[in-house]
Structure 1
């Protein structure tokens, strides 16, 4: 199976030919359902918009077992991710080769924007919570610089929650599994009263770790969550409605465990460890978020709607990590982080149509502000006596580096997009033009000091170093879409986007800012149905060119706490994506998602001396081949029951896990994650008319064949630190809905 990707592209024509050779059956229940999304701020079918998009409703999310963002991401070939090294509360996310490796820095943001009910979530710690009570998830691939302007050079993930229906309803889900896993989700909907519909949901879960800490609690890989959400909807008139949502979530977790395979010995195995070699010095991390979202929707007329989205939230995340023996230049390396953040955003949208609906348009104003602080302590037992204040202090030294950073960021934008269908070619040709103008301001203050514990001495490095920067960007996008038949649409698209510049927390010089990273993308795509809509085939080929790459450079590999960020290069990414969904029979459905990425780093110049260091760099989290093959078999069984069997295989080629990998092939290998494949499966039996409701029982397994692969890698000086994936998990879901 590890060689499947070498011949997989050649299989697709035969698979499609097989589908085309199937007899056409007229039953409408064999037709694939239309998928309606709001990717362009209005309700539209995914087949009618010039965007490479994947959308999943709550039923599909349940089949995938995707009750959190990480589980969903494993089934999306175009989205590559890893758990952040020092905290399982944050995810490193890349799409089409775009992303940010060090997501723990509050002075920078990622390239994949995550939006919940239209609200941009600035902190990656906000997206690791349980996906509870979700209507659907939309994954928009490629630059979304017009309608989703906050640093979405790689793509956007749109999470839409279930809104109150105004009718009495109840859902209770209970899950149990290995490693003492349990999860409970309760959703209560109340009947509409005085024109107001309300809904309450509460989720709680707990799971033990998978690498035991011989020093006691916590173990590595522990996770427990709880979250409460209240939502209300008021239809004040037939034209005006108000939606309000309040949520509070708390996540307690421990980080992933690192081991150094160069330390292999009879007592230190190169296989994934199940316990630590010594007592770990860390505490259970705690991330808490509280948020309010208010949405006003006014249908001014049949042709014009005005919408306002207001959001305020607070986040506090405290986490620690003991890297054990993974950092080879140190015998002891720990970290402790405390992040506090407040964000506010306001968006006004005007959605309408004119000229007898030949023109559809969206216009908007956007404002975003974020204030945050980050206190970090790194504990190092220095084996090389790199720190000597001039007192002939002998090695080793027990050091502490203390860093405290505050940042205030503001962004404002005006945007518009219009889609015009001229009265030619039977109204099958549409031109779409979008523009966005953005202004960003970022400011930060940093204090940095080093402490030698043996002598009780603290040495200031930076004291109240301030820096502020501002940027502006004009980003147009042009698409031409042609509907060849009622079931086949093609499009060509040119779009631009930018990822804001800023400051690097861990830089040796905090006053050195980096400029925005700019991307121009060229894309051709097709959206199509075949066989009386029993086969859906969507494909996109693209070329992305980006300039002023924001690259992280380590001036000294032994000082792993110092990382500078520069605009040092340019790159080109070529890709192909294919989404196929086939309803082979009334009971059998097969889906194939495939992504191909081919990248070239064209030039990287050393900021210090201008020398060419291109061969020292790679694009991380950009596998050449990645795919997901899923089979869902449904049968109706006696006694008003239905059985679903779902199984999926996901594959990723080898990939680098850092941009700065050096030209040394051995060191590059330290940064390489090998290719791997994972099988997930679920067997569900549903019973109707159970106490006037429905009951589902589901047996499931994630990583069914217990594949071992590297969840993350890094190198420090000599040696390679590797964190292995979570082993197989399995369990039972019991779901009752009324």
Structure 2
């Protein structure tokens, strides 16, 4: 924290000293890092408009930026009724994959181009796609599904971004840009209601500038009742959420060439997981005796199977076709709660026409309390007379981070440059317990008559700690990137980033016993990149890019030995084309890439005898795969405006992945493993139509989108697939109705997500339908039950209204 304190002090001192020095620069350009493209936006009705992005740390035209990326605007988010990042799981951007962690909705798995960590919820494990809010890196994926505050756009940068964005951006980066204070009085109030008792509301107030200070206030609330009901009275059902948050943004402009932005945000997300249904019963036909091809575990050498597959109690429902609206077994369950907060200060000083200096200082934190009883009777242990069941997964995580970034961005002659220094430190800790919440009751003949609730889950649920760990991480980096344009049509870019990472962690407890295994490692990486871009015409652009990235190493807190694993790294070769044609009524972008990943971090999960106690325990080991993981892909995006008022879009992503076979750490046997949540083919299409009514600017607007994803694996070690998905969303609104002479306008609309109410299993787990470890080469089938999985959200719909003033 000493370095953190010094850097924080330097940033705060700069915010006081720089304004004084800057009076001498009164003739300097405005504070923006670089002026937007000189290409003027298309006039209304003339075609598609320019999209401005900041992927290169400066404002540039999307079509002239040699990076494969998509932009989700505020209007698109409104049309799709996107309230949180989880709503992008429908496949709006085919190469972006979003899935909720089974135990709760706020811990999201986010992947781009086949870089999809399955379990980044551990304190000593990193994500593979960097998440940024206004330039501030978020170290944990906990709390990511909290409400979004007045987002201007979301930039989805595809492919390694290791030079400008840093470690843990192997697959890309998600850069969320919020609306800054304007200094002019403005505001809007929105509210809506929908099925499942849902409601949402937003207040956004922009206050007029006073003495060079502008203030913007944002407040958000989002609520939905459970979509699968819990039969146990007084307990929460599944797929419930209650999100609330507020944000204050203050902009100070003491001179024309200095801008200082301070923000504070706080959020609370209470939610329950999607229900885990029992999809089938003993689907592999497991019986005692010799191992069969269907009843075997990949990576094991079982020769015989022992035990008996237990029969199902009559209370248990098997349903692999449709989403259940009422669970078959009532269980104790309360909402998981994530609380987030953050302070950030971004200081920009246009010190000269050729340079802007920036200081981005941020403190953030998240606390997460998990109360997940999603599986009911479908989770181990399975039925036994008067036996306990229903694994109640409880966990707590606390994380705090500090980051400081100093940047210099500008242009000199035909050179554009960006350079900086980055410091990040994080402390995180967690603990977990998994008591069984229910007990079967039987008669004298062993027949199930019902079940009771274990009172211990209410009185002392953390009586036995499965695991507890703590870790401190630090990262230091220096980077630079320069683009040389010797002639207007050619652009040559080179860049590099040096990173030094350290992690110090300890597994404090495992199975309620002091453990003491540690993680004490450091890593150094240099990530280069190079790009050649050619503007064939003002509307046709080509580029070739070499880029690299890496994900830091760590340790598995679900491992009894706190198994350490090393970083993984990616190098990517990409070619792309960006084009506008048909008098700017059509836009077509195409990219193809080859990515090679070394030391892939692969997860293995097993119910395995605990070496300390001899009892069975659910263990997750993470290992580095030898050899090269191959990821190949093609991405295409098409936008058309064939007639006035109609806009059509289409996107497609093809992704091929192949990990070399990996030695199973439990058995020492080599087996096939897979990249999760990465469909081979995925596509999305949308249509937007606007028709004016009268002369006051009022219009009818219609939006429809359809999204398809091929089935894919959901666990590294199993070939089992989830279901293919097809989701349609829509919105119809009457917009910009004048309501007063002061320019106030009113918009009302109806919306629907999953309009066709399609059912598909997005997460399928076969671990409960396969043998567990017995003794020697004998597998045990006494715990076999069936596959269980999570269905997507049902159709939701509602009406909302917005008043702008």
TM-score, normalised relative to structure 2: 0.81
Aligned partners of 1:83 and 1:712 also within 8 Å? no
The separation in 1 between residues aligned to 2:583 and 2:176, in whole angstroms, is 31
Matched, 1:321 2:382: no
Q: Give the match for residue 680 of structure 1.
A: 729
Q: Give the match for residue 563 of structure 1.
A: 620
Q: Give the match for residue 302 of structure 2.
A: none
Per-residue CA distance 1:278-302 (angstroms, 9 max, x = gap): 2212221111111100000000111
Q: Give the match for residue 546 of structure 2.
A: 494
Aligned partners of 2:608 and 2:618 also within 8 Å? no
Offset, 1:125? 2.1
Aligned pairs, how many?
Answer: 675
Summarize the Cα distance change of 1:266–1:285 in structure 2 as closer, same or farther, 3 Å threshold. Answer: closer
Match of 1:631 among 683, 687, 707: 687
Q: Give the match for residue 66 of structure 1.
A: 82
- The alignment partner of 2:435 has SS state of strand
Match of 2:706 among 649, 659, 663: 649
Aligned partners of 1:30 and 1:583 also within 8 Å? no
Offset, 1:601? 2.0
Per-residue CA distance 1:673-693 (angstroms, 9 max, x = gap): 111200000001113432221
The separation in 2 between residues aligned to 1:204 and 1:675, in whole angstroms, is 32
Offset, 1:313? 1.3
Matched, 1:404 2:468: yes
The separation in 1 between residues aligned to 2:728 and 2:522, in whole angstroms, is 47
Summarize the Cα distance change of 1:560–1:33 in structure 2 as closer, same or farther, 3 Å threshold. Answer: farther
Task: Note the residue ranges of structure 2 that are not aligned, 5 or more in a row.
Answer: 1-41, 282-311, 383-388, 440-453, 457-462, 610-615, 770-785
Q: Whose Rg is larger?
A: 2
Structure number with higher relative contact order (C-alpha < 8 Å, ≥ 6 residues apart):
2
Match of 1:347 among 402, 405, 427: 405
The separation in 2 between residues aligned to 1:464 and 1:607, in whole angstroms, is 21
The separation in 2 between residues aligned to 1:644 and 1:721, in whole angstroms, is 41
The separation in 2 between residues aligned to 1:214 and 1:380, in whole angstroms, is 17
Matched, 1:39 2:43: no
Match of 2:763 among 712, 717, 734: 712
Aligned partners of 2:507 and 2:515 also within 8 Å? yes
Offset, 1:180? 0.7
Summarize the Cα distance change of 1:327–1:610 in structure 2 as closer, same or farther, 3 Å threshold. Answer: closer
Matched, 1:445 2:506: yes
Q: Give the match for residue 721 of structure 1.
A: 788
- The alignment partner of 2:619 has SS state of coil
The separation in 2 between residues aligned to 1:376 and 1:727, in whole angstroms, is 31
The separation in 2 between residues aligned to 1:568 and 1:57, in whole angstroms, is 38
The separation in 2 between residues aligned to 1:369 and 1:27, in whole angstroms, is 47
Q: Give the match for residue 244 of structure 1.
A: 262
Matched, 1:364 2:417: no
The separation in 2 between residues aligned to 1:174 and 1:87, in whole angstroms, is 26
Matched, 1:480 2:532: yes
Q: Give the match for residue 20 of structure 1.
A: none
The separation in 2 between residues aligned to 1:313 and 1:83, in whole angstroms, is 22
- The alignment partner of 2:659 has SS state of strand
Aligned partners of 2:336 and 2:372 also within 8 Å? no
Matched, 1:593 2:593: no
- The alignment partner of 2:142 has SS state of helix
- The alignment partner of 2:660 has SS state of strand
Per-residue CA distance 1:302-341 (angstroms, 9 max, x = gap): 1100001000012111011112122254432111011111
Summarize the Cα distance change of 1:608–1:286 in structure 2 as closer, same or farther, 3 Å threshold. Answer: closer
Q: Give the match for residue 477 of structure 2.
A: 413
The separation in 1 between residues aligned to 2:639 and 2:750, in whole angstroms, is 24
The separation in 2 between residues aligned to 1:147 and 1:720, in whole angstroms, is 43
Which is strand-richer, 1 or 2?
Answer: 1
Per-residue CA distance 1:695-736 (angstroms, 9 max, x = gap): 111100000000001132223342211111110000011011
Q: Give the match for residue 446 of structure 2.
A: none
Moved more, 271-280 or 520-529: 271-280
- Which structure 2 residues correspond to residues 538-549 of structure 1 after superposition, within 5 A? 538-549=589-600
Summarize the Cα distance change of 1:379–1:431 in structure 2 as closer, same or farther, 3 Å threshold. Answer: same
Moved more, 329-338 or 146-155: 329-338
Summarize the Cα distance change of 1:557–1:592 in structure 2 as closer, same or farther, 3 Å threshold. Answer: farther
Summarize the Cα distance change of 1:481–1:572 in structure 2 as closer, same or farther, 3 Å threshold. Answer: same
Aligned partners of 2:245 and 2:267 also within 8 Å? yes
Q: Give the match for residue 48 of structure 1.
A: 64
Summarize the Cα distance change of 1:618–1:449 in structure 2 as closer, same or farther, 3 Å threshold. Answer: closer
- Which structure 2 residues correspond to residues 9-158 of structure 1 after superposition, within 5 A? 29-74=45-90, 75-158=92-175
Aligned partners of 1:417 and 1:432 also within 8 Å? yes
Q: Give the match for residue 494 of structure 2.
A: 433
Aligned partners of 1:649 and 1:680 also within 8 Å? yes
Q: Give the match for residue 514 of structure 1.
A: 565
Matched, 1:210 2:227: yes
Aligned partners of 2:490 and 2:533 also within 8 Å? yes
The separation in 1 between residues aligned to 2:43 and 2:74, in whole angstroms, is 25
Per-residue CA distance 1:658-679 (angstroms, 9 max, x = gap): 1111xxxxxx33xx11112000
TM-score, normalised relative to structure 1: 0.88
- The alignment partner of 2:88 has SS state of helix
The separation in 2 between residues aligned to 1:701 and 1:683, in whole angstroms, is 9
- Which structure 2 residues correspond to residues 258-297 of structure 1 after superposition, within 5 A? 258-263=276-281, 268-270=317-319, 271-297=322-348
Task: Note the residue ranges of structure 1 that are not aligned, 5 or more in a row.
Answer: 1-25, 384-396, 451-458, 662-667
Alignment RMSD, CA only?
Answer: 2.0
The separation in 2 between residues aligned to 1:70 and 1:608, in whole angstroms, is 34
- Which structure 2 residues correspond to residues 691-710 of structure 1 after superposition, within 5 A? 691=740, 692-710=743-761
Offset, 1:449? 4.0
Aligned partners of 2:699 and 2:735 also within 8 Å? yes
The separation in 1 between residues aligned to 2:89 and 2:135, in whole angstroms, is 20
Per-residue CA distance 1:370-394 (angstroms, 9 max, x = gap): 10110111225999xxxxxxxxxxx
Aligned partners of 1:230 and 1:246 also within 8 Å? yes
Aligned partners of 1:56 and 1:136 also within 8 Å? yes
- Which structure 2 residues correspond to residues 614-625 of structure 1 after superposition, within 5 A? 615=672, 617-625=673-681
Per-residue CA distance 1:551-579 (angstroms, 9 max, x = gap): 11235468563111111233101100001
Q: Give the match for residue 373 of structure 1.
A: 429
- The alignment partner of 1:586 has SS state of coil
Aligned partners of 2:225 and 2:241 also within 8 Å? yes
Aligned partners of 2:184 and 2:206 also within 8 Å? yes
Aligned partners of 1:568 and 1:607 also within 8 Å? no
